[in-house]
Amino acid sequence: MPVDVYKAPVSAPCRAVLMNAKMIGLDVNKKHVILAGGELLMPEYIRMNPQLAVPTIDDYGVYLWESRAICAYLVNKYSPDSPLYPKDP
């Protein structure tokens, strides 16, 4: 089962997460969130992301919702040797 990425197409942080996943060769399940439709206020979404924002990921019950944290997490977990997020500054 791939990582679920809750995203809005107009969001630059969402696009950054998707580009990062593509760069490391990670298959993700894209879940479109209609921001004006109230989906962020659904109890299921609030449990994943109490800040009510996109992007959000669900990686087998691990929820993250800040794009830079998501990118670092995905690289560290799924492509630890990638130069996208080096271990040593």
pLDDT in tens, 9-51: 899 999 999 999 999 999 999 999 998 888 889 999 999 999 9
| Confidence at residue 89, expressed as pLDDT on a 0 to 100 scale | 66
pLDDT of residue 36: 86
Instruction: For residue 46, count other CB atoms closer than 10 A to its CB.
Output: 12
CB-count burial class (<10 Å; 0-12, 13-18, 19+) for 11: middle
Question: What's this model's pTM, rounded to 2 decimal places?
Answer: 0.92
pLDDT at 63: 98
Position 71 scores a pLDDT of 97
Domain boundaries, the chain: 3-79
Residues recognised as catalytic = 11
Q: What is the assigned CATH class of domain 3-79?
A: alpha beta
The model's confidence at residue 77, banded by pLDDT at 50, 70 and 90, is: very high
Q: Specify whether the CB–CB gap between 49 and 65 falls below 8 A.
A: yes
Beta carbons within 8 Å of 3's beta carbon, 6+ residues apart: 21, 26, 28, 29, 57, 58, 59, 74
DSSP letter (8 states) at residue 10: T
pLDDT digits (tens, 9 = 90+) for 56-68: 999 999 999 999 9
